[in-house]
Amino acid sequence: MSELTKKLFTLAFIREGNRLLLGYKKRGFGQGRWNAFGGKVEAGETPEEAAVREVQEEAGVMVVGGVEKVGELLFTFEGDPTAMHVMVFSARGYTGTPTESEEMKPQWFSVDSLPYSLMWPDDELWYPIYLRGGKFRGRFHFQGHDKILSEKLEEVQTFD
Ligand SMILES: Nc1ncnc2c1[nH]c(=O)n2[C@H]1C[C@H](O)[C@@H](COP(=O)(O)OP(=O)(O)OP(=O)(O)O)O1
């Protein structure tokens, strides 16, 4: 089996009680889907720093009190030797008003009516764990960007 190259990404949630802030991706990877905020971890950044930066860049709000790691996901794609290793965080707080950026259009959703049909297909599998306060680790192998060929998802207590 050929070696996978892993690239590190973040995905961060802003949650306020029963509502969750998602962004409509206007361009690039995942265009046309609603997602949390995130992107590549730049050289010299910790994943936590990258998560805070991406939230500010994409949603126009500042994280307050740091972020808590809630998940770790690995995405692979048929025929592609590069895997996406995504650290998932939840912001402890935020300040500011969500504002559209050139990359994303933020909008609040009730956690009971998330637009799963317009999101990545793995999201409806692991969001429920996050939404009830759990932590998770998962891997998803895709054909293209719409079909999950295989998956493994587990709820965890900690990340070691
Ligand atoms: N399957 C799935 N479910 C949920 N979230 C994601 C996926 N695949 C993904 O890639 N993602 C997330 C992980 C990242 O937060 C983004 C992708 O990052 P991207 O927008 O390409 O990174 P940026 O650094 O912001 O990109 P540019 O600014 O360079 O365009 O989606």
Query: Strand 80-91 and strand 5-16: pairing?
Result: parallel
Domains of the chain: 5-156 (3.90.79.10)
Identify the CA nearest to 58 among candidates 30, 78, 79, 84.
30
**How many CB atoms are closer than 10 A to CB 29?**
12
Q: What confidence tens digit (pLDDT) does each residue in 38-53 have? A: 999 999 999 999 999 9
Question: What letter does residue 42 receive in the DSSP assignment?
Answer: P
Average per-residue pLDDT for the chain: 97
Pocket test for ligand 1, best of 75, 123, 126, 140 (most atoms within 8 A of CB): 75
β-pairing verdict for 19-25 and 67-77: unpaired
Give residue 60's Cα distance to chain centre: 17
CA–CA separation, 118 vs 25, rounded Å? Answer: 11
Instruction: Indicate if the pLDDT at residue 160 is higher than 90.
Output: no
Q: Which of 2-6, 65-69, 73-77 has the lowest mean pLDDT?
A: 2-6
Q: Assign 68 to helix, strand or coil.
A: strand
pTM, 2 dp: 0.96
pLDDT class of 3 with cuts at 50, 70, 90 = confident
Tokens matching residue 69: 């790691």
Distance 18 CA to ligand 1 centre (A): 24
Cα(65) to ligand 1 centroid in Å equals 23
Residue 2 has pLDDT above 80, yes or no: no
29: pLDDT strictly greater than 60:
yes
**Which residues surround ligand 1 with Cβ inside 6 Å?**
9-11, 28-30, 35, 38-40, 75, 84, 86, 120, 122-123
Give the number of C-alpha atoms closer than 13 A to the C-alpha of residue 13, restricted to the C-beta side: 21
